[in-house]
Amino acid sequence: MVNNKALSPIKQQIIDGDIDWTFTKEWLNFNDQDVPCSAKLSKQQGSRIKKCNFIYPTIDIQQRNYPRLYPIGSISCIECANAHDDNTHVGLCKEHSIHIKNILIRAAHDLHDLIMKNTKDGNSILEETIKNISLFNTSFVDALPQSHPGYLLIHHLVPSDLTKIFNTYINKKLRFSLFSKFFLTLMSSIDALIWTRRASLVKQWESTLSITKNKKRFYRKRHKKRTPPPPDPGAPDHNLSPSRHYNSRHFATTPYYRDGGFNDNFAHIRWMTSNYLHSGHWTTYRDNIGFNNIDLFLILQNSFLKNVFDIR
Ligand SMILES: [Zn+2]
């Protein structure tokens, strides 16, 4: 996972153990709907998985998937115009800073209330303890630092900082259910104020370029037999790189070829038929958490089936 290129923005946090994978898995599986499976739930879980894998369809990904619809060259962030519009920039944009501070202040307050209501161990220093964990440090000037645990939150990963509090103060029986309730409220604010707000600004910008949902839907059909788009003069010349020269070995392999083989030879069937794959060709998803860690994906699936059949 540390060598996964898509996760390079959080490489250090992975190495330092700043992410609680058990709680993250709980969150990715979390279902607040009345039914065990639905289109809405599938969309919600798919969206969380894209965000934590840094493959949410930000402009750079859309530009790659629909090169004839988007302007060529690097496209700047719609909000600050100071950085390339990609997954890494979400949360680090200085336009997100004030929202993140407000969300963290509110979350620290809600967490304190939740613990006081659900434990006998809450005491006068609890407020101070919560305020002092680095997740709730809002003293940063300008943009959120990439090393701040809040950056993990933005990308739907659960910071260990937060779970330490739950592990210390909430008994095991109540822990996951209280955590899910608290985290759902917190993540709803993050989705509304960061992701959805941002997406609507991107949509407005796209409409000025006549980029519509329909054009994306019929893109492949429309451009299938046409010549490839002109090369991007601003892009680096990849032809100079020896890795771009296809040799007979590449021609001989399948699209889902991987060095060293697969943990599960049928994994590609699940991925090609998965409804998580909305925003591009399935092969673009090869380098994310789920694909590189088939075991994690199986855990997620098994856990989901457990919920369906209520086997405990
Ligand atoms: Zn920005």
Using the mean position of ligand 1's atoms as its centre, give its distance from the Cα of residue 151 in Å: 14
Using the mean position of ligand 1's atoms as its centre, give its distance from the Cα of residue 139 in Å: 20
Please give the model's pTM, rounded to 2 decimal places: 0.72
pLDDT of residue 277 exceeding 60: no
For residue range 47-65, list pLDDT tens digits in order. 999 999 999 999 999 999 9
Q: How many residues does the chain have?
A: 312
Using the mean position of ligand 1's atoms as its centre, give its distance from the Cα of residue 241 in Å: 31
Using the mean position of ligand 1's atoms as its centre, give its distance from the Cα of residue 91 in Å: 8
Q: Which helix (H) or strand (E) holds 96?
A: none
Kindly state the average pLDDT of the residues 239-243: 41
Q: Where are the domains positioned within the chain? A: 20-226+249-309
Q: Cα separations (Å) of 170 from 122, 132, 237? A: 10, 19, 55
Q: What's the whole-number average pLDDT of the chain?
A: 80
Q: Cα separations (Å) of 190 from 51, 150, 231? A: 12, 10, 37
Q: Cα separations (Å) of 136 from 112, 149, 168, 236, 267? A: 12, 9, 17, 40, 39
